[in-house]
Amino acid sequence: MFQIRPTQSAPAAGMKPAVLVVLVVLALVSAAPLSAQDLRSDIFREVDDVMVAALAARTDVLAPASFGEAEKLYRRAEDNLERGRRIEDIQRDLAKAIEHLKKGIEATKLAKVTLVAPLDARDDAANADAQHYASDLWKKADKKFVDAARALENGDVNRAKKRGDEARVLFRDAELEAIKSNFFNETRALLEKAQKQRVERGAPETIARSRELLGQAEAALERDRYDTDLPRTLAGEAKYEANHAFNIAEIAGRIDKRDLTIEQLILESEHPLALISGTVDLVPLFHTGYHETTQNIITHIEALQIENETLGHDLADRERTLGNLEAQITDLEEKFGGASEEHLALQRQMEAEAAIRERFDRIQKMFERDEARVLRDADDVIVRVVGLQFDVAKAVIQPQYFALLTRVQDAINLFPGSHLQVEGHTDSHGTDEINLKLSEARAQAVREYLIANMRLDQGRITAVGHGESQPIANNETAEGRARNRRIDIVITPDLESMVP
């Protein structure tokens, strides 16, 4: 595809001597000397604008003769400019290029009416990547299409319609071949591989399902080649089932070889549900099978969805309220010719809260999910450093966590002048007294680390241990206990410093 060279892309340092001579001459006869970039920009400005309009009208596709002539003249003008040829010759070529482009733009209007069906077929084939998956058919079809467009430019409407219809058929064939190759070949290859490896012995129903879905996809495409959504979906499911069969066959093979017992298989299948249960703070129950635990997880997720929707509505209401307050402040300022001290204070408070929200969003993006969770409590920002772990009964920060704590420091630095509180928490295992002391020691270790590495005023940062008294998860599960063992860093922003 022909591309317009940006007018700023011709650096003077790389120009040939002849061009520099031209520039020197222009500088001598002009009160405002032109640089090489300015020269090209000045000469090519109009043709570049027309070229953009021509490409937008698809003149390169629908009026190839006119566009081709314009392209040759454009490139010749560029070459002559680089060689330092006469400006008059360059301008003459560009003027002719503009004439051809405008002629082409007019020709596209007729082509979009006369060749509408072939053009639609060409676009659909391109969307199916027929250039790649059905390159021979695409080339034949495109040759017919170019012939049709050229005939139309020359006023031969009958030839244009005939060649256009031939191109339409070829484009549709190319589209169909591309879709089949693009969507189906990989699944066919998987099924052939499965047959060679006798996967069907271990997963006969899954392999049969994959073949059935692939057949349905092909049949759907044959019925209506214009509706690619259904065959694409069916082909995707067929591919999934083929891969699924390999996994099932591998497990069946382990059982046949006695590398895996039925009991081990059941326990392995329970493990993912147990992990999910622990993550959502539920106790997994498998003594009656999978159903009870699965249903508890579903119920929990549905409750979270309802809660999320409610919070979304509350947020929208608060944003509307905030908008109304801003409008009232504006009205008062206009009515009284300025704002009172109360209004100014309210305005500063709103600006501070907006700054906190913006920096809260930035901090959230600084951590991976397994490193830290970032929460809000009124104006306080809580960085829950879930990725920081201590050895059992110890309060020493290991070197592998220094990088994580560096990002914590970056988060703190977004709130200059803020007060910091490091809070230590434990799970319920162990006595209350031991857990309280351990949580205090760990919080103090983090406080001392931050003071040493950030040169903080010691009065800005405190440390407190809560032991097992403030759990955030169920201590009856391993996952819940892991979440309860945590360090929270509470950042209380200095609202005055949040507003310039």
Strands 419-425 and 486-492: antiparallel
pLDDT surpassing 70 at residue 1: no
pLDDT at 41: 78
Radius of gyration of the chain (CA): 35
Q: Residue 34's pLDDT band (boundaries 50, 70, 90)? A: very low
Which residue would you say has higher pLDDT here, 27 or 414?
A: 414
Q: Across residues 200-210, what is the average pLDDT? A: 94
226: part of which helix (H) or strand (E)? none
Of the listed ranges 136-150, 305-319, 398-412, 455-469, the least confidently predicted one is 305-319
Which residue would you say has higher pLDDT here, 318 or 101?
A: 101
pLDDT surpassing 80 at residue 28: no
Beta bridge partners of 287: 289
Q: Across residues 214-220, what is the average pLDDT? A: 90
**376-395: string of b/e by CB count within 10 Å (b at 16+)?**
eeebebbbbbbbbebeeeeb
Q: In the chain, what is the greatest distance between 2 CA atoms, to the nearest angstrom? A: 97
Is 98:46 a contact under the CB 8 Å cutoff? yes
pLDDT at 151: 93
Q: Across residues 425-449, what is the average pLDDT? A: 92
Of the listed ranges 67-76, 138-147, 276-285, 309-318, the least confidently predicted one is 309-318
Of the listed ranges 216-225, 334-343, 353-362, the least confidently predicted one is 334-343
Map tokens 């591998």 to a residue.
Answer: 250
Of the listed ranges 14-23, 226-235, 288-297, the least confidently predicted one is 14-23
pLDDT surpassing 80 at residue 262: yes
Which residue would you say has higher pLDDT here, 164 or 182?
A: 164
pLDDT at 36: 57
Residue 50 has φ and ψ, to the nearest 5°, of: -65, -35
Q: Across residues 241-252, what is the average pLDDT? A: 94
Which residue would you say has higher pLDDT here, 233 or 81?
A: 81
pLDDT surpassing 80 at residue 39: no
Is 175:128 a contact under the CB 8 Å cutoff? yes
Q: Across residues 266-284, what is the average pLDDT? A: 87
Output the 3-class SS for 420-432: EEEEEECCCCCCH
Q: Across residues 332-342, what is the average pLDDT? A: 63
Of the listed ranges 45-49, 182-186, 252-256, 401-405, the least confidently predicted one is 182-186
Q: Residue 195's pLDDT band (boundaries 50, 70, 90)? A: very high
pLDDT at 340: 60
Q: Residue 138's pLDDT band (boundaries 50, 70, 90)? A: very high
Q: Residue 499's pLDDT band (boundaries 50, 70, 90)? A: low
pLDDT at 31: 40
Of the listed ranges 77-91, 314-328, 394-408, 478-492, the least confidently predicted one is 314-328
- Domains of the chain are 12-114 (no CATH), 130-250 (no CATH), 347-498 (3.30.1330.60)
Three-state secondary-structure class, residue 144: helix
Q: Across residues 275-297, what is the average pLDDT? A: 86
pLDDT digits (tens, 9 = 90+) for 452-496: 998 888 889 999 999 999 988 877 777 778 888 999 999 998 877
Which pTM does this prediction carry? Answer: 0.47
pLDDT at 11: 38
Indicate the angle between helix axes 87-114 and 116-127, nearest 10 degrees: 100
